[in-house]
Every structure is written in C-alpha cells, then in structure tokens.
C-alpha cells in the first residue's frame, strides 16, 4: 500500500485532490466542521488528520483554528503538506507514520476531533481496518468525534474498495455512527464518468 501511494505521489497522479476544487464539497466540509466548532471560539483544540496526504484538509482545519497534527506514510505527501502550510501561513504538526500503528508514531493522544478523508475506505485489508480502528481509539479522547469520508462499497470499476456501515462498525466497535450524509461527486472531472460513485460523510462519536 505504501509503495502504491509512494508511486502515485511520485508521478503526480492524485485524483482525490480534485475534490478540493468542488465548491459544493468544500461547502459541505465547512458546514460539517462548523458543527464540530459550534458553541466554541478558536482555538478549537487538537485535531488529528489521518492520512493527511498533501495537507489539503489539514490546512483548512488549521486555518479555522484547530491545532492540527497530520499523519501519513508517504514522505513526499508530507513535504507537500509542509509547503502548503507554509504558503497558507499556518502551523501543522506533520508526522510520518502508519495509521494502523499510531501508538508507535509520535502523533500523541487525547484528540477530541479526528478526520479520515479517504483512508479507511481504501485498500486496507479487514485486519488493517481493525488495526486502524484500534489505534484511532487509542489516541482519541473519550467522547471524541471522527469525521470519515468514504465511498460506499464498490460494485465495480476503479473506485477504492469502499466501506459499508457494517465495515465501519466492525472496525470501530466503541464508536457510534451518529450521522451519515451522501454527497454527489459527479462535478469532479476525474469522478464524473464513474458510475455508482457514492461518497458519504460519516460522523462517529466515541462512547
């Protein structure tokens, strides 16, 4: 997996980054983050961006007033995230590490808010998904919220493996899905022609 992503970043084939150019998607993300921030003023506290990639959403979180740690296992992605943060004039703490082994990295713990924008639903095996759930639970605060962006389970074509509610529940037994919102992805050039693209935002609360 790491090799595949290293290659994708090396050749510059990162279609998920096109999502940032979709105004409806950024508006949806903004609204979802505003919901987490409701009733508080910045700084909102620590946030962990799991598989932060080139830092698109980590930077947005930091711009809103979160103290963001981003973790990813591809050094080039982290270099790009560092450069993106520099251009935006925000601080990001960036850690090279594997989301299935978070406790072995220097990410820290006690995060009240965590973001998974496109990692869990990808090609992790069931065992790796369970490990991710276990590790995320270990570094999350009690009562934490996890915002997960995932495709529904793949039926065919080049989409990631996808995740069902059952898959999420199996990997996150101590968490409850408290909200699920479908999102129409057809406006993004790369995804326009993909049939059955079914992107969803899940909000999970740790018990």
Ligand X SMILES: C[S@@+](CC[C@H](N)C(=O)[O-])C[C@H]1O[C@@H](n2cnc3c(N)ncnc32)[C@H](O)[C@@H]1O
Interface ranges with ligand X (CB under 6 A)? 1, 5, 16-17, 51-53, 56-57, 72-74, 77, 98-100, 117-119
Nearer to ligand X, 19 or 144 (CB): 19
Nearer to ligand X, 16 or 191 (CB): 16
**In angstroms, what is the minimal distance from the CB of 38 to ligand X?**
24
- Assess contact for 177 and 116: CB atoms under 8 A: no
Nearer to ligand X, 109 or 176 (CB): 109
Nearer to ligand X, 59 or 144 (CB): 59
Q: Are strands 199-206 and 175-183 parallel, antiparallel or unpaired?
A: antiparallel
Q: Which strand ranges, in their side-by-side order, compose the sheet holding 111-117?
A: 93-96, 66-72, 45-50, 111-117, 140-151, 199-206, 175-183
Placement of tokens 């290659």 in the chain = 7
**In angstroms, what is the minimal distance from the CB of 32 to ligand X?**
14
**In angstroms, what is the minimal distance from the CB of 10 to ligand X?**
12
Burial classification of residue 29, based on how many CB atoms lie within 10 Å of its CB (0-12 exposed, 13-18 middle, 19 or more buried):
buried
Q: How many CB atoms lie within 10 A of CB 97?
A: 18
CA distance 52 to 55: 5
Nearer to ligand X, 40 or 182 (CB): 182
CA proximity to 78, closest of 64, 98, 102, 63: 98
Nearer to ligand X, 100 or 145 (CB): 100
Placement of tokens 């605060």 in the chain = 141
- Assess contact for 48 and 71: CB atoms under 8 A: yes
CA proximity to 22, closest of 191, 207, 198, 193: 191
**In angstroms, what is the minimal distance from the CB of 97 to ligand X?**
6
**In angstroms, what is the minimal distance from the CB of 193 to ligand X?**
19
**In angstroms, what is the minimal distance from the CB of 50 to ligand X?**
7
């Amino acid at each position: 997996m790491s090799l595949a992503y290293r290659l994708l970043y090396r050749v510059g084939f990162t279609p998920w980054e096109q999502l940032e150019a979709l105004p409806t998607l950024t508006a949806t993300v903004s609204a979802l983050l505003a919901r987490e921030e409701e009733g508080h003023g910045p700084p909102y506290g620590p946030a962990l961006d799991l598989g932060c990639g080139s830092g698109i959403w980590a930077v947005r979180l930091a711009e809103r007033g979160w103290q963001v740690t981003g973790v990813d296992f591809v050094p080039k992605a982290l270099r790009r995230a560092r450069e993106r943060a520099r251009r935006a004039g925000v601080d990001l703490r960036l850690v090279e590490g594997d989301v299935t082994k978070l406790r072995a990295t220097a990410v820290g713990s006690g995060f009240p808010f965590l973001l998974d924008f496109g990692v869990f639903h990808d090609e992790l095996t069931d065992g790796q998904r369970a490990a991710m759930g276990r590790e995320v639970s270990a570094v999350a605060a009690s009562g934490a919220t996890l915002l997960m962006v995932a495709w529904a389970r793949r039926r065919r074509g080049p989409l990631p493996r996808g995740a069902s509610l059952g898959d999420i529940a199996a990997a996150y037994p101590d968490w409850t899905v408290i909200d699920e919102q479908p999102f129409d992805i057809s406006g993004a050039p790369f995804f326009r022609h993909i049939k059955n693209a079914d992107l969803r935002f899940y909000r999970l609360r740790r018990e």
